[in-house]
Structure 1
Amino acid sequence: MARAPIVLVDGSSYLYRAFHALPPLTTSNGQPTGAVKGVLNMLKRLMKDYPDSPMAVVFDAPGKTFRDELYSDYKAHRPPMPDDLRSQIEPLHACVKALGLPLLCIEGVEADDVIGTLAHQATQAGRDAVISTGDKDMAQLVNGHITLVNTMKEETLDEAGVEEKFGLPPALIIDFLALMGDKVDNIPGVPGVGEKTAIGLLQGMGGGLDTIYGDLERVTTLGFRGAKTLPKKLEEHREQAFLSYQLATIKTDCDLPVGLDDLDIAHPDREALVELYKEMEFKQWLAELLEGNDEGVDDVAGGEPVSETTDSATETAPTERHDHVITEQAELEAWLERLNEAERFCFDLETTSLNYMDAEIVGIGVSLEAGEAAYIPVAHDYLDAPQQLDRKAVLAALKPLLEDPAKTKIGQNLKYDISVLANYDISVVGPFADTMLASYVLNSTATRHDMDSLALKYLGEKTISFEEIAGKGAKQLTFNQIALEQAAPYACEDVDITLRLQDTLRPQVEREGRLAEVLDHLELPLISVLSRIERNGVAVDAERLYEQSQQLEQRIRELESEA
């Protein structure tokens, strides 16, 4: 029987990502705790997914490493760590230890190199290794025995997964990073070589830096834009490219004070956890601990916490949703009557493209209250698709409602829907309520404001992803090709979730008076303005622009001469 894999967690990577992506939770006395909770949720998720696995959580230690000796500007341009993040490091370390997890923070060795070395040791000992990280650099370590998982994105990468994601096998990831550099770590790379050029170069040459520099003339024959002038850039920055290769390479042979035998998980220190959860006001976990549950795990897929400040999913979610698929005129008229009587409604377009300029409407989802939604299909055209209402007639019937200034239109990323509807001669009029913008105003430092992420974060619900009904990659279907049996629940869920998000997020915005002003008087009014600008373009005074350019160039020269 195969032994359970070694699980190695990139704690530093997850700490930064949790800080920037999750709600900025604080205790009643202002102590930041959001990043701690995010990382702990992810760790507890891993402990559930790999119950029999040895595990280590690895963090970067302060101080310099061999990379600083190779290149004095390594990571030199990184801004100082925010105080709200720095203050969460020590509590997080304490929580990790109290959970019984081995914590590694080794002076002079970066976390990536610790993980790389332990993963290599595991494979040498005949064991598989799972590296939990959100860092693309780790893809270079993937092989038949080493896999990456990212619980924040529900992503698992084996060798085939790396190639699908990056267009390159794991063996060329270091070369990829060396060519395009890394602004975060200040790895220089080759100036002018971005992600697409690096991929095209490595694919076209069929090998890494040695192959490329061994036959620079052949680079000119590659089919991508700029290939003819690329050899000169590569030659000029040859030394820099190979230096970048060294900087980007994760070491797998570090001399570490710990080994695989030191990674067994100990019993949690219940008393320490109780004190830590009290201090950080993790009320749900504390209650579970006191009731005898030693883990206190939030039951949320993807390892993201539901904010302590929001209503719980059990309080906001209806027990079931009633979906209606409108394919008869009488059904449409009944819903139109209800929409006419309503002061607000949620709507969402299902289309053939994310590009509003060429997107064609396939169907419209509408909802008036949580737990009930309707989908009006108008252009599903797969083989044996059922009869549907005429798109032109449906849009003509909805036009007065969408243009009625007395009705609030609720949506997620309304600018897209407004822009698509403009192509059908419908000018959607506010007032608007946009859950994507509400989320942004509440947490502008977060990187994810899509509906799936918001549903998980604020409602505790995992939604149907587009890939689940359409597939992915080259064979992915467009919405008109998806069977109604799959399309309707997806579309109805979209509007139902969006309506419920609006009712969850709006009270939070209103509790912060200044945020409500920003949302109501700046962000929401700009939806129509930005849609119109994107569709019509902006007039530019070319002569005035040239004058400003000349003035800036002159000022740059003056500053350079003063330096």
Structure 2
Amino acid sequence: MDRNDPARYPCRMKNGDHLFLVDGSGYIFRAYHALPPLTRKSDGLPVGAVAGFCNMLWKLMQNARDTDVGEPPTHFAVIFDYSSQTFRKDLYPEYKANRSAPPEDLIPQFGLIREATRAFDLPCIEMEGYEADDIIATYARLATEAGGETTIISSDKDLMQLVNGSVSLYDPMKDKEINVPEVIEKWGVPPEKMIDLQALMGDSVDNIPGVPGIGQKTAAQLLEEYGDLDTLLARASEIKQNKRRETLIENRDKALLSRELVRLKNDIVDIDPLDTMTLQPPNGPKLISFLKAMEFTTLTRRVADVTGTDAAQIEAAHVAVASVAEAHGPDLDVAPSASAPDAAAASAPAQNAPGVMTPADLVAFRKTEARASAIDPAAAIAIRDIATLRAWIAAARDTGLVAFNTQTTSLDPMRAELAGFSLALEPGKAAYVPLAHKSGAGDLLGGGTVEGQIPVREALAELRTLLEDRAVLKIAQDLKFDLVVMQRHGIDIAPFDDTMLMSYALDAGMAASHSIDSLAQRWLDYTPMTLKDVCGSGKSAVSFDMVEIDKATAYGAEDAEIVLRLWRVFKPRLAQDGLVSVYERLERPLTPVLARMEQRGISIDRQILSRLSGDLAQGAAALEDEIQTLAGEKFNVGSPKQLGEILFDKLGIPGGTKTKTGQWATSAQILEELAAEGHEMPRKIVDWRQLTKLKSTYTDALPGFINPQTHRVHTSYAMAATTTGRLSSSDPNLQNIPVRTAEGRKIRTAFIAEPGNLLISADYSQIELRVLAHIADIPQLRQAFADGIDIHTMTASEMFGVPLENMPGEVRRRAKAINFGIIYGISAFGLANQLSIPREEAGAYIKKYFERFPGIRDYMEATKAAARENGYVETIFGRCVNYPEIRASNPSIRAFNERAAINAPIQGSAADIIRRAMTRIEDALQSAGLTQTQMLLQVHDELIFEAPELEVEAAIPVIRTVMENAAMPAVAMKVPLHVDARAARNWDEAH
């Protein structure tokens, strides 16, 4: 009989009813692992998981009906995942991408378990496009709205976000109920914060990126302090710990994406009504018929006893067994049937693709090939004598390529000592060459060098012949690090390919990370060892030269082999996707340029920083006194909680809002709004925060980055960290030094030239607006740039009807804010805050702007439409920036991606232009005989050089010419690029 038949299922869920929802997919794996392998005697069919599932479900139902134990269920259902392709995959294709296929003997049991559920006369619910957890979330909400209670049979942390006064979890394996206190005890946060907690932590099992380096405890502490994820991200700049602050700022998008991935969808439509879940007495004959088909004699007897059924009179049911190809479910991430290239690859030799192939064919073949043979770190060899090393180098020359990577004592390439290096020639053939490993035993210094290692100088002499051989391609992951390390030993590396940069060119915006671990999981379905695995963590961690050689060999050789396999997949993909020129002209040539810049570093003046630190401390102390005077009491100005109580409870300032924890919100935006309304104390708080941040982040921290050997500061540039091609810097981050305040500009005065030299600052003028004028083909902007008219003055004149001559500074400032705001998709609310004007006035400005420059709106709409259709946008040089969430159902995520897609071609093109300039400038300076002028830093649209005073006058026009013509010959800009360049003793004066 149909479960929707009202004659049989008349019961509508009502106040006081109790719904049981079994996480069926979780039950499957618990059942499978809880019992030893079991096969049906008659034909050998694997049925262990089915047996475990049936026993667990029977026990659960019997216990649930026992009124002495608890409130029995009135409604009951088992929920399954339908398939691995859900809306989350649409949001983020790498979601659960690292899950391995289920055991072979489990595959035929998926369908049988669903049949078992129906035999229990229970609803077996699954929906295409959704996970079981989403279905559970929707039913839990519906039950709550009906006045009922819900018990979810699962211990999955993803479901703990649902726990509240009417929803609980029950772990049948531990016989433990999970309510709000249990969630707090385990995770440190209440259920309503589990989504934000998981967004910060990420989840390696489901391949949810999270924020790197943020674990459970840290995430819980941050949420306790800031209330929620939005507040935390908005106030991330206030965090005192440098690394944590920068990590949160740089990975903001990952956190927001992760939140959408972990947030359960509780509003699924077209779902079976709760009424169909009314729990009925067990149907003995129906269940026994299935159990006899599975040959579960013990459970058959128990069911017969409880239901009063004569099992002997019941015939076994005919239960069809699905083949692997017919099976489906999350539980089953079975790859589709191999295409012709894949099938051919299965039997083809490892190094040779079959026949004549298109790039797409070759990509398919290489993807199959990369996974065809297992990576076995234990099979790697340690090369411990010079003869063997020479043999490997000779083999590399014969092959014409070699994967290479270094193992060092530090992640700072300017301080790292070489412990050894790795080579891989082909899948299954990789080795590690230990050079300076030390014994952990012996004296207090850790013992001496381990015997059986090639002397460093002798090994590097042989290695040089390989790394500098132009006939052998060197393949590495993040080669810039290896390049800096080897160049410190006087060895260059050329030619080379870099798998990290290949992945970045191919999948910017798609891949959560371009690290070797992420790429190995995604493309090779392989989880490599981590540095913590070999070196340990925390206080017990050791440097790599203290790792046992056997363990170092497995780790180092594994890295090299992974890189080689990745390269074989990525190389043809560049051709298939039309991105060869992006990689070979924008990414790869910049690597040695940045390596040299990092090695050069820049000088800073400790005394200037010390004086500035003292000035900032005094200024902050004075502001603190003024703030406490205004407050009428002493309090911790750095405490958001105490500050909120002073502002809104004691002083009664209107306009305050509270976080979910009930604490007053005191973000920079809120304080700025209050200051704009004329409140004195919020303005002083903003100023105090700025001063203390400058002191802790720069004046106090920068001296600690001075290299003891070079006496200079060496920042590290990340080439694959942003989606648009912009570089980022770290240790220290020199791209976030503020320049809009006098105090921020003073910090730049500490960056100085060596005696006899000057610093040259060469800065593109309004490059993003020029790129916009080129891409969107805006006649007014093009003409203004061609005539050399100040673009902000021109915009002010167009917008407000004010003559160009004697333009008031305030009017120009408003036009400037609109010009730059439009590029970043600013809203009326944002512009109103920036200009301290009513939102209606800001909205009118934006409307008028689009009326005066209709081509800009046309560009924005066309770009959004193209991004929605293609899933990506392109720079003028062909760089692809992917936005897989551009079609997200969540309006905020969709809007964020649309704004980013509008800005990416502009910001990305500007980034590409400066990349092209950087790869040409050194040769241009050399050709001009300016051999002592060196490029030191790149900061957004600015390049910093150090030059002897005698070369400065000649160097500036060379630098300007290269930068202004960097787009040529690939792109003929419709507007001229302009570079401002000047020289001075320190960075601030040169800017």
How far apart are residue 122 of structure 1 and its match? 3.0
Q: Secondary structure of 2:421's partner?
A: strand
The residue type equivalent to 1:383 in the other structure is G
Q: Is the 8 A contact 1:5 1:130 kept in 2?
A: no
- Report the Cα distance in structure 1 between the residues aligned to 2:579 and 2:233, rounded to whole angstroms: 40
- 1:536-558 CA deviation, whole Å, 9 max, x = no partner? 2478957877999xx99975466
Question: Is 2:496 the partner of 1:439?
Answer: no
What is the deviation of 1:381?
Answer: 0.5
Would the aligned equivalents of 1:351 and 1:361 in 2 still touch at CA under 8 Å?
yes
Alpha carbons 2:171, 2:177 under 8 Å: kept = no
- 2: distance between equivalents of 1:460 and 1:155? 13
1:167 and 1:346 map into 2 onto residues whose CA distance is 38
In structure 1, distance between residues paired with 2:380 and 2:497: 23
SS class of match (1:311): helix
Q: Which residue of 2 aligns with 1:339?
A: 396
Q: In the alignment, is residue 534 of structure 1 matched against residue 598 of structure 2? A: yes
- Structure-2 change in CA distance of 1:468 and 1:402 (3 Å): same
- Correspondence list, 1:66-215, <5 A: 94-96=128-130, 102=136, 104=138, 115-117=162-164, 121-122=168-169, 127=176, 140-141=189-190, 152-154=203-205, 165=215, 168=218, 170=220, 172-178=221-227, 182=229, 185=230, 193-194=238-239, 196=241
Q: Distance in 1 between matches of 2:400 and 2:498?
A: 16
The equivalent residue for 2:430 is 373
**Any idea what the Cα deviations from partners look like across 1:510-530, whole Å, max 9, x if unmatched?**
212x21221122211111112
Shift of 1:101: 5.5
Q: 3-state DSSP class of the match of 2:189? A: helix
- For the 8 Å contact 1:325–1:376, the answer to whether it is kept is yes
Q: Is the contact between residue 164 and residue 179 of structure 2 (CA under 8 Å) also seen in structure 1?
A: no
Tell me, yes or no, if the aligned pair for 2:97 and 2:206 is still in contact at 8 Å: no
Q: Give the Cα separation in 2 of the matches to 1:508 and 1:116.
A: 46
Call closer, same or farther: CA 1:468–1:168 in 2, change over 3 Å: closer
In structure 2, relative to structure 1, the CA distance for the partners of 1:320 and 1:408 (3 Å cut) is: same
| Letter aligned with residue 189 of structure 2 | Q
Q: 2:520 aligns with which of 455, 460, 478?
A: 455
Alignment: residue pair count: 401
The superposition leaves residues 312-356 of structure 1 with CA deviations (integer Å, 9 ceiling, x where unpaired) of 367542586742211122222222322343421111101111111
* Alpha-carbon distance in structure 2 between the residues aligned to 1:43 and 1:312: 15
SS of the residue 2:430 aligns to? strand
Q: Structure 1 494/142 Cα, relative in aligned 2: closer, same or farther at 3 Å? A: farther
CA displacement at 1:460 relative to structure 2: 1.7
Q: Distance in 2 between matches of 1:383 and 1:360?
A: 17
Post-superposition Cα deviations, 1:174-198, rounded to whole Å, max 9, x if no partner, equal 33233xx74xx36786685226389
Q: Which amino acid aligns with 2:215?
A: K
Residues 295 and 189 of structure 1, relative CA distance in 2, 3 Å threshold: closer
- 2:371 and 2:525 in contact (8 A); partners too: no
Match of 2:308 in 1: none
Label 1:113 to 1:128 Cα distance change in 2 as closer, same or farther (>3 A).
closer
Amino acid at match of 2:204: K
- The offset of 1:409, in angstroms, is 0.8
Please say which of residues 114-123 and 478-487 is displaced more in the overlay. Answer: 114-123
Distance 1:556 1:17, change over 3 A: farther
List runs of 5+ in structure 2 lacking aligned partners: 1-21, 28-78, 111-125, 146-157, 181-186, 208-212, 246-265, 267-272, 280-321, 336-341, 343-359, 442-449, 603-752, 767-790, 793-808, 818-834, 843-991
Describe the shift of the 1:315–1:391 C-alpha distance in structure 2 as closer, same or farther (beyond 3 A): same
Alignment correspondent of 1:503: 568
Cα distance between partner residues in 1 of 2:536 and 2:385: 29
* Separation in structure 2 between the aligned mates of residue 377 and residue 21 of structure 1, nearest angstrom: 40
8 Å CA contact retained: 2:23, 2:132: no
Compare CA radii of gyration and give the structure with the larger one.
Answer: 2
Assess, with a 3 A threshold, how the Cα gap between structure 1 residues 119 and 490 changes in structure 2: closer, same or farther.
Answer: farther
Residue matched to 1:405: 470
Return closer, same or farther for 1:118/1:506 CA change in 2, 3 Å cut-off. Answer: farther
Q: How far 1:405 moved relative to its partner? A: 2.2
User: TM-score, normalised to structure 1's length?
Assistant: 0.56
Distance 2:554 2:599 in 1: 31
SS in 1 for 2:241: helix
> What stretches of structure 1 of length at least 5 have no aligned partner?
24-34, 52-91, 132-137, 157-162, 201-253, 264-286, 301-305
| Contact 1:369-1:499 at 8 Å conserved across structures | yes
Q: 2:454 — aligned with what?
A: 389
- Give SS of 1:533's match: helix
Q: Which residue of 2 aligns with 1:231?
A: none
Change (3 A) 1:100 1:363: same
The one-letter code sitting in structure 2 at the alignment partner of 1:193 is E
Instruction: Give the Cα–Cα distance (whole angstroms) in 1 for the partners of residues 332 and 454 of structure 2.
Output: 48
- SS of aligned partner of 1:140: coil
Which whole-Å CA distance do the structure 2 matches of 1:448 and 1:434 have between them? 15
Partner of 2:411, secondary structure, is: coil
Q: TM-score, normalised by structure 2?
A: 0.34
- What's the C-alpha RMSD, in Å, of the aligned pairs? 5.7
Q: Are positions 1:516 and 2:580 aligned together?
A: yes
Counterpart amino acid of 1:196?
Answer: Q
Partner of 1:234: none
- From the superposition, tell whether residues 456 and 17 of structure 1 become closer, same or farther in structure 2 (CA, over 3 Å): same
Which residue in 1 is equivalent to 2:367?
311
Q: Which residue of 1 aligns with 2:487?
A: 422
Tell me how far apart the structure 1 counterparts of residues 102 and 177 of structure 2 sit (CA, whole Å): 21
Cα distance change of structure 1 residues 429 and 189 upon mapping to structure 2, 3 Å threshold: closer
1:250: which partner in 2? none
3-state SS, counterpart of residue 333 of structure 1: helix
1:361 maps to 2:395: no
Contact 1:5 1:128 in 2 (8 A): no
- Specify whether residues 330 and 453 from structure 1 end up closer, same or farther in structure 2 by C-alpha distance, changes over 3 A only: same
**Pairing partner for 2:333 from 294, 298, 310:** 298
> Does the Cα contact within 8 Å between 1:42 and 1:151 map onto a contact in 2?
no
Identity across the alignment (%): 24
| Structure 2 Cα separation of the partners of residues 155 and 177 of structure 1 | 27
Judged with a 3 Å threshold, the aligned counterparts in structure 2 of structure 1 residues 16 and 380 are, in CA distance, closer, same or farther, namely: farther
Which residue number in structure 1 is paired with residue 549 of structure 2? 484
Q: Deviations over 1:258-290 (max 9, x none)?
A: 9xx999xxxxxxxxxxxxxxxxxxxxxxx9654
CA contact (8 A) 1:122 1:128 kept: yes
Q: Distance in 1 between matches of 2:216 and 2:389?
A: 46
The 1-side partners of 2:427 and 2:399 are apart by: 14
Alpha-carbon spacing, 1:20–1:352, altered in 2? closer, same or farther (3 Å): farther
Residue 386 of structure 2 contacts residue 454 of structure 2 at CA under 8 Å; is this kept in 1?
Answer: yes
Report the secondary structure of 1:426's partner residue. Answer: coil
CA distance in 2, matches of 1:547, 1:100: 50
Amino acid in structure 2 at the alignment position of 1:141: P
Whether the 8 Å CA contact 1:317–1:459 is kept in 2: the answer is: no
